Structure 1
Amino acid sequence: MNPLERPVASPCVNICALDDDDICTGCQRTVDEITRWSRMDNTERRVVLGLCHERALASGLVWMMPAKSDA
């Protein structure tokens, strides 16, 4: 990691509860992702954040904003 680059922040929102698939209902990380977070570099963290976003979309927790029309 570039020593001048700040660490990618954890997506933790202090709502720590696992669903039936062992995914945190607050941050959408798996147990493995949560436990490894402090040892991940920024590239790995960004991948996990992308997975979290995909999981949130799939579960209906996040809605994609429609594209802005020019009308």
Structure 2
Amino acid sequence: MQQIEIFEIPSPCIGVCQTNNRGYCLGCFRSRDERFNWQTMSDVDKKQVIVLCQQRKRRAANATNTKKPTAEGKQNDFDF
């Protein structure tokens, strides 16, 4: 049995509306289909999409953090 939501689940859109090379929005991390079908999705589907978006956002942040070179190592090599 599906639980009825008292409040509408808001869209995760933050108004960035640009996509990355995989087709996910850079602001909310939804796919094209998820963005276009949001209004017709059930609350269960919306919750699932939000969980997926959170996972995508974490993966993107982790990928960005592992690719950043640190200047700290280069500066520590200097002997004055």
TM-score by length of 2: 0.70
> In structure 1, what is the equivalent of residue 29 of structure 2?
28
Identify unmatched segments of 5+ residues in structure 1: 62-71
Which has more radius of gyration? 2
> In structure 1, what is the equivalent of residue 51 of structure 2?
50
> In structure 1, what is the equivalent of residue 42 of structure 2?
41
**Number of residue pairs matched?**
60
Runs of 4+ in 1 over 6 A off after TM superposition: none
Higher helix share: 2
Shift of 1:38: 0.2
> In structure 1, what is the equivalent of residue 16 of structure 2?
15
For 1:40 and 1:51, how far apart are their aligned partners in 2? 15
Of structures 1 and 2, the one with the larger relative CO (CA 8 A, separation 6+) is 1
Shift of 1:24: 0.1
Identify unmatched segments of 5+ residues in structure 2: 63-80
Q: Percent identity?
A: 27
TM-score by length of 1: 0.78
User: Aligned partner of 2:47: which letter?
Assistant: R
